[in-house]
C-alpha cells in the first residue's frame, strides 16, 4: 500500500490534518528560529489521529549547535527529519547533516530521515557520495515534482541511497489549503513508524491485501504466475489477484484468507517442481553512475520466464539498485562511481539469487 501525507510550515499555519495518517511539521531552522505554529500543529495532528513528525531546516555550519537548538524545541520521542536544501545565503553540506545527526542523537533525539532533493545533490553537491549518512542508518527523502506513480522517478536511487519517501508535489490542496508539499511512502503506517523511529529497513515481501498497489504486488503476481496463475502483471491487487492468492493458499494447505503474509510469501518463493535455471550476468558496461547488464535469456519448460530480478548490492550487503525487467537486459542507475557492487540476476522474482548468479564489478 502507499501512504500519502503532508509536510507543512508556518506558511500553512492553522491547517487541519483531518484525514491524514501522518503529519510532518516544521519545528526549527538554523539555531534561532522556531515555527510559531509548531505547538498548535502538534495538537491538531493529535486531534486528527495523525502520527506526528517534525523537521528541521538545516543551514550550513554549526550542525551540532543547530541540533542542540532543535532538540530543545522538539525533545525526545518525536521523529525528526533534516531538510537539507539551499537558501539565498546558505548551502548545507553532507558534513553539516552528519554533525547534526551525531549531536541530536547524543542528546537523546530521534533522527533517521534526510530530505535531500535530487537536483540539489546533483547540481550543488556535485553528486557526492552519501555514504557518511548511509553509515548512520539514515533514510532518504527525495524530491521530484513530476506527479506521483508507483514507479515514478522519485523512487530512483542516487548517491548510493534508494528513497524511502518521495515528495512528489509542492502544490497540493489539503483541507482547503493550497500549495502543500505532499509525500508518498510505500508501506504500512507501522512500517513507517518503525523506519522513522529506528531506521529499520522494511521487508522485501511486505504483507499485502486486496486493494494494495506497487512493486511488491508486481512481485506477488509474477510469483503466482510461476505457480500457474494467468494474471496480468500490473501491480494492482484486485479481485483476480485475490482469487489467485486464495487458490494458491488452498493448494498449499495454508490459511485461506487472501492475505499475503510471511507463510504465503515463504511458499510463493519456492519454485514448483524444483529449482529453475538461473542466469549469470555477462556483458557488463560501466558508466559514471549507471551500469548496463545483459545475460542469457532463460526458459522454464520451454517457456520464457515472465521477468528477471537484478540488484546491485554493496559490499555492506545493502541493495543500492533494484530492477525487474521482462527482457534479458537492464540499465541500473543511481550507482556511485568508484564503488564496488555485487550484481545479482535471477529469474521469476524468486527470493534470493544463488551464488552463481552474482558477479562483482567496480563502476
User: What tens digit of pLDDT does each residue of 277-294 get?
Assistant: 444 444 444 444 577 878
CA 40 to chain CA centroid, Å, is 30
The helix (run of H) or strand (run of E) holding residue 119 is helix 118-123
pLDDT digits (tens, 9 = 90+) for 237-286: 999 999 999 999 999 888 899 988 777 877 887 767 654 444 444 444 44
User: Residue 63 and residue 94: Cα distance in Å, rounded?
Assistant: 10
* Per-residue confidence (pLDDT) for residue 28, from 0 to 100: 98
* Per-residue confidence (pLDDT) for residue 22, from 0 to 100: 95
* Per-residue confidence (pLDDT) for residue 321, from 0 to 100: 78
The DSSP symbol for 298 reads: -
DSSP string, 32-99: TEE-TTHHHHHHHHHHHTPEEEEEEE--SS-HHHHHHHHHHHH-TTSEEEEE---BTTB---HHHHHH
* Per-residue confidence (pLDDT) for residue 51, from 0 to 100: 96
* Per-residue confidence (pLDDT) for residue 285, from 0 to 100: 42
- Where the chain has pLDDT below 50, the residues are 275-288, 351-352, 354-356
Contacts with 129 (C-beta within 8 Å, 6 or more apart), sequence order: 159, 160, 336, 339
* Per-residue confidence (pLDDT) for residue 103, from 0 to 100: 97
* Per-residue confidence (pLDDT) for residue 271, from 0 to 100: 66
User: Residue 85 and residue 97: Cα distance in Å, rounded?
Assistant: 11
CA angle 275, 269, 271 (to 5 degrees): 25
* Per-residue confidence (pLDDT) for residue 295, from 0 to 100: 77
Cα dist from 32 to 106, 113, 293, whole Å: 20, 22, 50
* Per-residue confidence (pLDDT) for residue 337, from 0 to 100: 65
* Per-residue confidence (pLDDT) for residue 338, from 0 to 100: 65
First vs last C-alpha separation in the chain: 34
pTM (2 decimals)?
A: 0.60
User: Residue 170 and residue 154: Cα distance in Å, rounded?
Assistant: 14
Question: Which three three-digit cell numbers place residue 283?
Answer: 556483458
Amino acid at each position: 500500500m502507499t501512504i500519502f501525507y503532508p509536510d507543512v510550515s508556518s506558511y500553512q499555519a492553522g491547517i487541519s490534518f483531518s484525514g491524514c495518517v501522518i503529519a510532518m511539521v516544521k519545528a526549527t531552522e538554523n539555531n534561532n528560529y522556531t515555527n510559531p505554529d509548531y505547538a498548535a500543529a502538534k495538537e491538531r495532528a493529535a486531534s486528527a489521529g495523525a502520527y506526528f513528525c517534525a523537521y528541521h531546516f538545516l543551514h550550513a555550519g554549526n550542525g551540532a549547535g543547530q541540533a542542540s537548538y532543535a532538540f530543545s524545541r522538539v525533545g525526545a520521542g518525536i521523529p525528526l527529519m533534516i531538510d537539507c536544501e539551499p537558501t539565498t545565503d546558505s548551502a548545507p553540506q553532507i558534513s553539516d547533516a552528519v554533525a547534526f545527526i551525531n549531536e541530536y542523537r547524543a542528546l537523546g533525539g530521534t533522527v533517521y530521515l534526510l530530505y535531500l532533493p535530487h537536483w540539489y545533490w546533483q547540481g550543488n553537491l556535485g553528486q557526492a557520495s552519501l555514504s557518511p549518512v548511509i553509515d548512520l542508518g539514515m533514510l532518504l527523502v527525495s524530491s521530484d515534482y513530476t506527479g506521483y506513480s508507483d514507479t515514478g522517478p522519485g523512487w530512483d536511487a542516487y548517491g548510493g541511497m534508494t528513497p524511502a519517501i518521495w515528495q512528489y508535489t509542492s502544490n497540493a490542496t489539503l483541507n482547503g489549503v493550497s500549495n502543500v508539499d505532499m509525500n508518498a511512502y510505500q508501506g504500512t503506517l507501522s512500517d513507517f513508524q518503525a523506519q522513522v523511529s529506528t531506521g529499520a529497513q522494511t521487508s522485501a515481501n511486505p504483507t499485502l491485501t486486496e486493494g494494495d498497489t506497487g512493486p511488491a504486488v508486481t512481485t506477488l503476481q509474477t510469483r503466482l504466475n510461476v505457480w500457474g496463475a494467468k494474471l496480468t502483471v500490473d501491480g494492482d491487487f484486485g479481485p483476480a489477484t485475490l482469487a489467485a492468492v486464495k487458490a494458491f493458499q488452498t493448494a498449499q494447505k495454508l490459511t485461506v484468507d487472501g492475505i499475503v503474509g510471511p507463510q504465503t510469501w515463504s511458499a510463493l518463493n519456492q519454485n514448483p517442481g524444483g529449482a529453475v535455471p538461473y542466469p549469470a550476468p555477462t556483458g557488463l558496461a560501466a558508466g559514471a553512475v549507471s551500469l548496463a547488464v545483459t545475460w542469457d535469456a532463460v526458459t522454464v519448460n520451454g517457456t520464457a520466464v515472465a521477468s528477471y530480478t537484478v540488484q546491485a548490492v554493496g559490499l555492506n550487503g545493502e541493495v543500492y539498485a533494484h530492477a525487474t525487467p521482462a527482457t534479458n537486459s537492464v540499465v541500473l542507475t543511481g550507482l556511485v562511481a568508484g564503488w564496488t557492487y555485487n550484481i545479482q540476476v535471477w529469474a521469476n522474482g524468486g527470493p534470493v539469487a544463488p551464488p552463481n548468479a552474482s558477479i562483482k564489478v567496480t563502476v
